[in-house]
Amino acid sequence: MSTVSASDPVISLPAPSARAARSAPRKNWVERLDEFISRLSTRNTFWSRVCSFIWLPYAFFSGIKMRLMGTHDAHVAVLPFTRFNRNWYNAMAGAALLGNSEIAGGMYVFGIVGAEYTVVCKHLEYKFMRPCLGPALYHIEPRGEIKPLVEKGGEFNVTLDLDICQQALKTGDTEKRVGKCAVTFHVTPKEFHKTRAARRATK
């Protein structure tokens, strides 16, 4: 799920001074546990599924997974065509297509920004185009680069465009677009949440 490759440039940062290391606030066990679990959830598909089962059961039972198809930047989330995702007339449920748009986009953004950030959906628009009678593929494309925003620091918004297609059911068939989605996420460093909580506590 990680978007880092061997060809990505490595940014070298100066080592913190001894004084800065002593003045840095010590993380409590809750913060260390949260950081460990966040990193674990982005390590591989197995741990992502385990964490989803505990904290995001809808994503776990829907079976959605992130894959890389074709080029390195071709991020595609796959939603299987299971009884949990189907409606009474044997098509992919609209609620499953809509709800998993947020999950697919969030998985994509979280995989880039990493465990030091929280990712919250601010706005989502979905256009239904035709029934989906098989597994759904979420082709994800960001509106602009995300990594420069992370390197800049601070809070930022990121908007993704998703093309939702029915996977080809037979050899020779082509994917059929079943919907389009635009979703905006607000990304915040976890340190910002700690700072705000400390300010509220002193008031």
Q: Which residues does 2 contact at the CB level (< 8 Å), separation at least 6?
A: 42, 111
User: What is the residue extent of each domain of the chain?
Assistant: 28-202
Q: What is the distance between the alpha carbons of residues 161 and 171, in angstroms, rounded to a whole number?
A: 28
pTM: 0.70
Write out the two tokens for 156. Answer: 């930022």
Instruction: Pick the more confident residue, 174 or 48.
Output: 174
The pLDDT tens digits of the residues spanning 59-74 come to 566 788 877 665 545 6
Instruction: Pick the more confident residue, 199 or 155.
Output: 155
Instruction: Pick the more confident residue, 60 or 5.
Output: 60
Instruction: Pick the more confident residue, 25 or 111.
Output: 111
CATH number of the 28-202 domain: 3.10.129.10
Strand order in the sheet with 65-68: 65-68, 75-79, 136-142, 156-166, 176-189, 117-128
Name the average pLDDT for the chain: 76
Q: Please give the span between the terminal C-alpha atoms of the chain, in angstroms, as a whole number.
A: 41
The pLDDT tens digits of the residues spanning 72-91 come to 456 799 999 999 899 988 99
Q: What pLDDT band is residue 190 in, cutting at 50, 70 and 90?
A: confident
Q: What is the distance between the alpha carbons of residues 136 and 127, in angstroms, rounded to a whole number?
A: 15
In the chain, the percentage of residues whose pLDDT exceeds 90 is: 40
Closest by Cα among 78, 45, 46 to 62:
78
Q: What is the pLDDT of residue 65?
A: 85
Q: What pLDDT band is residue 176 in, cutting at 50, 70 and 90?
A: very high
Q: What is the pLDDT of residue 13?
A: 33
